Amino acid sequence: MMETPTTASYWVQRLGRRLNGRKSQLLDSCRSRHYCTITEEHHHQYPYHRVPSPQPQDLSRVKTNEHGQLQCRGCDQITYLLRWAEAERRKDANHKGTSPKRIIHNSYIELDSCARMSNCDACQVARRALLLDQITGRDAERLRDTDNQSPVQVALDVRPGCDSLLVSIDSESGVPLFSATVVLSQKPCLAVGKKTKGPSTPSRLRPNFEELRQVVNNCHNNHQCSSRYRWNSRNPSWLLQILANGKVRVIPGPDRLVDYVVLSYSWGDPAAMPAEEWARIKGASTKTVNGVPVAERTNPFSRSILPETMQDAIAITQELGYEYIWIDNVCIPKGTDWDTEASLMHEVYGNAAFTLLASSSTKATERMLHDRLAWLQEPKHCKLRNHFLYNTQKPLHEVRLDPPASQRAWTLQEERLSPRILYWTGQRWYWSCPEHQTVESSPFDLPSPVSASEEQSWSPPQRFLDVCRIGDFQSIDQEWLDIVEAYTRRDLAHSADRFLAISGLAVRFLEAKMDGGDKTRVSEQYISGLWREDLARHLSWSVASAVDPRGSHQEVAPSWSWASLPLCVNTKMRHAFKQSPHFQFLGVRQFSSDYTPVTASTNLGQQVVSNPRLRSKLAEQHGRAIKQIEIRGRFRRFISEKSRAVSWEDIEWKRGERVGFNFEEFPGQDLHSRNRNDGRIVSKDAHGGEVVGQLDYVLPAGDNHGDKKGSHSVALGDGEETELMCLELGELAMLLLQRNPGPEETWRRVGVCIGYEQRKGFFYGCESRTVVFA
């Protein structure tokens, strides 16, 4: 039956339609007053990326929150987490922990659009945090890659006195791609950064050279860096002079010391770039005729023919008011004595006005100068639910470790030999000298929250120079161990440069160990990357896990030197150590076949006596040529002749994170076992404790015996562990040795044992023996 105006149900339906219509009008009015969306007009204003396609959930619509600031729907998730933290603290005032992640935007592009177009205050802080965390310009570009977008997530890290917002972008499999930290504070505050002058948006796209000039000038005028750390008054053999109109030229180093900048950068991996690109990098080198640079380089030429990293380094140097720059590929002409130049790096870097470290580029053909997209908008106070959000300054030690340049072996000594360093990243610069460290900043930057243990786990890059200057020999020895740990993790384009790329540091170490005022001799001796005065400790290096013997450099260095390892290997150099009273270094037994020792009776030998500079260089060259040394110490078998081989799985014991051994199935038996994956090896006496060692190499899966004529000969084959002997280095440290084939008895290193607390008397009663290490 049809409803009539007089029936009750008719009036109920009509009232419902009127209420729904009124609700719709109210919602439309609210949206028009409080929300905005990204339009095609905005897209034309910012054409450098395309507007993302519509997402299932629109998170970019903004409203004005209770603090009068714009807040998008995505940022409601941050507010939710803040309420969660408040609830947890009501239960426990000292609550600490990390919340689950919540999505604030469907992609970085959506976050970027919301921050720039909708002007959402919190999204501006999150966007800036992600950009500032990227060291290289390429990483910042990866954020905006339209073909690889993932949701932007946040989690709240709650700690007493310091809450942080963890912003991250993960891959589909959950692997973190990008991450950054936003500091939360309940009070408005300003960090040490200075507000820049001039228009906000355009000026911040360029580096803040005004602030940087003040920092550099303050160091040169008010610090003692030059008087304390400058090595001498000599310039490099050749410098690149910066001229007007984009011109440069190669000139001999002037007789008087001039202020010059040194560039430290990564050439790049030739295997990862087109052949023509690598040829362009190599082609930047200066050619010579009869040992003199060609006229094409000594006459003014356009710097545009050089790779992009070099071009931008020249531009930065010129912007800071310097006329000269030293770039290895240009200022070490072809045909130059490379050994000599490499050993003088402590002078090149020590005498420079500062070292410009190109952290922003991954290879020489990439730009150093990029638009500072993090500063498109002037930073301002941002407040959500009574919390102020602040961007952080990435700690310097993370900046040092992250960029590709830090993976290059040559840059280690370039950094450690430089009193002043300007780290140039994609979005800001960092300055470090012995007296001051600072970063290009804004008035709303805060230092990253760093725990006391993290603060103590790293040292400034100038520490090596500092301990060398004051003559703290114990610290110098420890610094060398730290240097080697960092060095063995790095890569080299040419393995033959294994010693050359660290030779400047070795020469500086030698100079620090001079006998008092006697500049003609030193008590120390360089021995294939190790040092005589603490040789037992230096011999006790170990690998974190056994490595593939393919790539071993035993043609470059002897087995007992860390330099014989493959490239990019994690080593452990520092551990509690007390030298055994039975250990003795007897002397050098053999040099490489192509080495000619210098004697005092020769003309060159007489020059060494009167020229400390030449003496140090030749002492380093002498040391890297050593192939055999003679050692005396307590000596014995590692595994007893009656020992039984058992599988690793039969004796390994695990309880959660605790790992040990369980020998209860083999009572009263001598046992030994090897872990085929990581190279651990164990020897146990029937009624005594076990000794656990670490082998240097492990054979690839399926290769049980190795190729005795090739590089596999450095690894143990099946059953060869029973032939191992060991020599005591320290109270709880020994070398594992295998005899080399041949009529002469020499031994090669295959591993090490450190800290065998279960068998402290392992060498008790053993006789000392003289052993030749090869």
Could you give the CA distance from residue 585 to residue 591 in angstroms, rounded to a whole number? Answer: 16
Within 8 A by CB and 6+ apart from 472, the residues are: none
Task: Look at residue 351 in the predicted model and tell me its pLDDT.
Answer: 93
Helix (H, G, I), strand (E, B) or coil at 116: helix
Task: Look at residue 203 in the predicted model and tell me its pLDDT.
Answer: 47
Mean pLDDT of 259-288: 93
pLDDT per position as a tens digit, 197-226: 433 344 457 888 999 999 999 999 999 888
Distance of CA 343 to the CA centre of its chain: 24
Neighbouring CB atoms inside 10 A of 174's CB total: 6
Task: Look at residue 632 in the predicted model and tell me its pLDDT.
Answer: 97
pLDDT surpassing 70 at residue 588: yes
Cα 150 to Cα 8, 105, 170, 377, 409, distances in angstroms:
55, 9, 7, 24, 34
Tokens 């959506």 locate to: 110
pLDDT surpassing 60 at residue 382: yes
The segment with the largest mean pLDDT, out of 17-26, 137-146, 378-387, 538-547, is: 538-547
Nearest one of 81, 167, 172 to 132, comparing CA atoms: 167
Mean pLDDT of 150-173: 91
CB 287 within 8 A of CB 261: no
Task: Look at residue 53 in the predicted model and tell me its pLDDT.
Answer: 38
pLDDT per position as a tens digit, 4-19: 444 445 444 554 555 4
Strand spans (E) along 638-676? 644-645, 652-655, 658-661, 671-674
Helix (H, G, I), strand (E, B) or coil at 250: strand
Q: State the chain's mean pLDDT as an integer.
A: 84
Looking only at Cα atoms, what is the longest distance across the chain?
129
Task: List the domain boundaries for the chain.
Answer: 40-185, 221-368+409-440, 635-773
Distance of CA 385 to the CA centre of its chain: 38
Cα 142 to Cα 109, 174, 436, distances in angstroms:
11, 17, 33
pLDDT per position as a tens digit, 47-101: 333 334 334 457 878 889 888 889 999 999 999 999 999 999 898 888 889 999 9
Could you give the CA distance from residue 217 to residue 225 in angstroms, rounded to a whole number? Answer: 12
Q: Packing angle between helix 473-488 and helix 409-416, nearest 10 degrees?
A: 150
Task: Look at residue 441 in the predicted model and tell me its pLDDT.
Answer: 76
CB 499 within 8 A of CB 557: yes
Strand (E) or helix (H) holding 93: none
Could you give the CA distance from residue 539 to residue 528 in angstroms, rounded to a whole number? Answer: 11
Pairing verdict, β 680-684 and 671-674: antiparallel
Task: Look at residue 199 in the predicted model and tell me its pLDDT.
Answer: 35
Query: How many residues are present in the chain?
Result: 774
Query: Residue 394 — very low, low, confident or very high, per pLDDT cuts 50/70/90?
Result: confident
Query: Residue 459 — very low, low, confident or very high, per pLDDT cuts 50/70/90?
Result: confident
pTM of the entire predicted model: 0.83
CB 303 within 8 A of CB 314: yes
Mean pLDDT of 359-368: 93
pLDDT surpassing 80 at residue 257: yes
Task: Look at residue 582 in the predicted model and tell me its pLDDT.
Answer: 97
Give DSSP secondary structure letters for 535-587: HHHHHT-EESS-B-STT--TTTS-TTSGGGSPSS--EE------B-TT-EEEE
Pairing verdict, β 733-739 and 725-730: antiparallel
